[in-house]
Amino acid sequence: MANVVVVGAQWGDEGKGKIVDWLSERADVIARFQGGHNAGHTLVIGETVFKLSLLPSGIVREGKLAVIGNGVVLDPWALFAEIDRLAAQGVRIDTDSLIIAENTPLILPLHQDLDQLREEAAGKAKIGTTGRGIGPAYEDKVGRRTIRVADLGDDETLEARLDRLLAHHDALRQGLGAEPIDRAGLKAKLLDIAPKLLPYAGPVWKVMAEARKSGKRILFEGAQGSLLDIDFGTYPYVTSSTTVSGMAASGTGMGPGAIDFVLGIVKAYTTRVGEGPFPTELHDSDGQRLGERGHEFGTVTGRKRRCGWFDAVLVRQTCAISGMNGIALTKLDVLDGFETLRICTGYEIDGRHYDYLPTAAALQAKVVPIYEEMEGWAESTEGARSWADLPAAAVKYVRRVEELIRCPVALLSTSPERDDTILVTDPFAD
């Protein structure tokens, strides 16, 4: 059976939550493979709105196995707060519906402290993190001093991990003018949460291999967006993990051969939260209109998103890097009523034309977008469920997007509602 990876193709907030939820009806296993609780997915199911940060979007569907892979960094307190919120909405989560990789690194209070201390010290040079400790947790992972889920089950191992971890963090905190870590208090918190967390822990790589062998459909769910990738994003204004499709394999313990279809989620315009380059950003009434109509505020932080025209250069770039087989184009209805639309088709930097975004920060700062104008449409596309329901100008816009990014539209989303989706190509088709 086909296995599908879903990744954001822009700077996040593309509407992955709805698409993953929609696809999860066809899947048996839904696995998160990177990021932490800095992600934000909003699901609208009937009259109920679910806001997820850490749990895979498929968790709201009965009979599915939700997986948190080793590529994720896990704040256990945030996890159980999210589980409690969903329980209050009638979603039951137990060890039959959720498994967490036993080698998943933990986000601790000291990671959040360090994240915030650094941003405060950076002043105007801040990166714009969510302050939830994601970056410092990944640093400890690659620095081989992290505490992982399985470590909570053995006191001797936990003691050794704490010694190594605090030797590093206390030195950093001293340099930033903060007090040393309360070691006893931290260990007490870990011992308190361990009995709740450990029952969910298991060898995810083995579970995934068995699921694949038995012919179950697997949906790999990414967080953030490709332009926030630690390698291929607008560095240093990026997240601390790999957000492109290749991470789905290593972030869950599977080989790349397990991936059959890569679906990129693409918003019909462009948004970004936080600092960093944004070639098509608008500071006028059109930008304000996009933000208001698109309700562009972060699910996790509530921060207002920066808005701009669709950037085909960047999306073409991310489609190539992730090897996307198709895209899900979302929020087309936000463009309803614009007399004229603009699409960025290239860049000019110091008189030279570029068909990609250069890596050098100095060049990125000089980018001038080259636009192509298209006729807008007055009719509403909200709730459309077939091509026949779309105005001709809207269809023309979608077709031009496909041409420019060199990737076909597999799904078209016309509202936050689960069923307001036009299926062109089923990613799960064998």
10 Å Cβ neighbour count for 51?
Answer: 15
Q: Could you give the C-alpha distances from 41 to 20, 293, 317, in angstroms and in order?
A: 10, 18, 24
Distance between CA 241 and CA 239 in Å, rounded? 6
10 Å Cβ neighbour count for 351?
Answer: 6
Burial class of residue 125 (count of CB atoms within 10 Å of its CB; 0-12, 13-18, 19+) = exposed
Distance between CA 119 and CA 255 in Å, rounded? 37
The residues annotated with a catalytic role in the active site are 13, 41
Distance between CA 354 and CA 7 in Å, rounded? 25
Q: Could you give the C-alpha distances from 410 to 148, 247, 330, 429, in angstroms and in order?
A: 38, 22, 11, 12
Nearby residues of 391 by Cβ (< 8 Å), 6 or more positions away: 377, 378, 379, 381
Q: What is the CA radius of gyration of the chain?
A: 22
Distance between CA 160 and CA 169 in Å, rounded? 15
Nearby residues of 367 by Cβ (< 8 Å), 6 or more positions away: 277, 279, 347, 348, 349, 354, 357
Which among 97, 88, 96 is positioned nearest to 56, based on CA atoms?
Answer: 97
Distance between CA 253 and CA 99 in Å, rounded? 14
Using H for helix, E for strand and C for coil, what is the string for 184-211? HHHHHHHHHHHHHHHHHEECHHHHHHHH
